[in-house]
Amino acid sequence: MSHFVSLKYFSSKEISEMLDLAAQMKKNPRISKNLLEGKSIGLLFEKASLRTKTAFYIGAQQLGAKVIYYSPQEVKLGQREEVADVARTLSVYLDAVVVRTFSHSNILKFSEISSIPVINALSDLLHPSQALADVLTIQELKGSLKKLKVAYIGDGNNVCNSLIYAFSILGGNLHLAIPKGYQPYQSILDEVGSYHRVSGAKINLADSVSQAAKDADVLYTDVWTSMGKEQEKGERKKAFKNFRIDDKILKVAKADAIVMHCLPAHRGEEITSSVIDGENSVVFQQAENRLHTAKAILAYNLRRKKNE
Q: Which residues pair with 4 in a beta bridge?
A: 119
Query: To the nearest 5 percent, what fractions of the chain are helix, strand and coil?
Result: 50, 15, 35
| Catalytic pick among 236, 261, 290, 292 | 290
Beta bridge mates, 177 = 153
How many angstroms separate the CA atoms of 18 and 301, rounded? 9
130 is an active site residue:
yes
What residues form DSSP beta bridges with 41?
67, 96
- Active-site choice (51, 62, 95, 100): 100
Would residue 236 show up in a list of annotated catalytic residues for this protein?
no
Is 304 an annotated catalytic residue? no
Q: Are 32 and 156 in contact (CB under 8 A)?
A: no
Q: Cβ distance 293 to 129 under 8 Å?
A: yes
- The single residue of 139, 222, 236, 292 carrying the catalytic annotation is 222
Active-site pick, 130, 134, 175, 286: 130
To the query of whether residue 197 is one of the catalytic residues in this protein, the response is no
- Does 30 participate in catalysis according to the annotation? no
Per-residue CA distances from 293 to 13, 108, 137, 234, 244 (Å) = 16, 22, 10, 35, 27
Taking the C-alpha atoms of residue 197 and residue 254, their distance in angstroms, rounded to an integer, is: 28
The catalytic residue among 51, 127, 175, 236 is 127
Residue type, 93: Y
- Looking at 124, 155, 262, 292, which residue is catalytic? 262
Question: Residue 222 catalytic?
Answer: yes
Catalytic residues: 100, 127, 130, 222, 262, 290
